[in-house]
Amino acid sequence: MILFGASGHAKVIIDILEKSGMEVDFLVDADSSVSELQSYLVKNESDYVSTKSDELIISIGSNKIRKRIAESLNAQFGWAIHPTAVLGDDVSVGQGTVMMAGTVVNSSTNIGHHSIINTNASVDHDCDLKDYVHVSPNSTLCGSVSVGEGSHIGAGATVIPNITIGKWVTIGAGAVVIKDVPDFAVVVGNPGRIIRYNDREA
């Protein structure tokens, strides 16, 4: 597996791959001063040309950057799912998606491509998460929640059942979402309230 991005997020993915018995070939990063991470070789982005035979995960936390890189690469994308993650039998997980330690994803849930389900996050039954979503540590999506492309659910946030969250939304850490959220909104607090809107350029 090749990892694109050599920072803290990559360290966690390396740990998942190692614990899963998967081989890390090398990493790629735009920072030419980085030559090694966790004893693995880091190649400069300018020296790497992707091919369809490469199996790769984009190990970058930013949803927008993951999307930009995914659309620019000519590669197949793998998965990194921690051995302690719990998945329902009929859960669908998109390519390039990473699931950290202690995550729980319950029955009839769809996780899109290049998403992050972070440490101890809980995604309950019948949820639908689109591509490039990040569900942060210790956050909870109750049943039948829909999350649009590129949205970020902050650490410790809670979304009650049957809520629709639009695309490129930011839900702040610890927020409690009790009503639908429109595209690009930034929501904080308990109960969650919109304080502004994100840039519409994804």
Catalytic residue annotation: 125
Tokens of 176: 């409690």
Pick the closest to residue 125 from 140, 105, 139, 111 (CA basis): 105
H or E segment at 8?
helix 8-19
3-state SS of the chain: helix, strand, coil percent to 5?
A: 10, 30, 55
Question: Quick check: 57 and 13 in contact, CB under 8 A?
Answer: yes
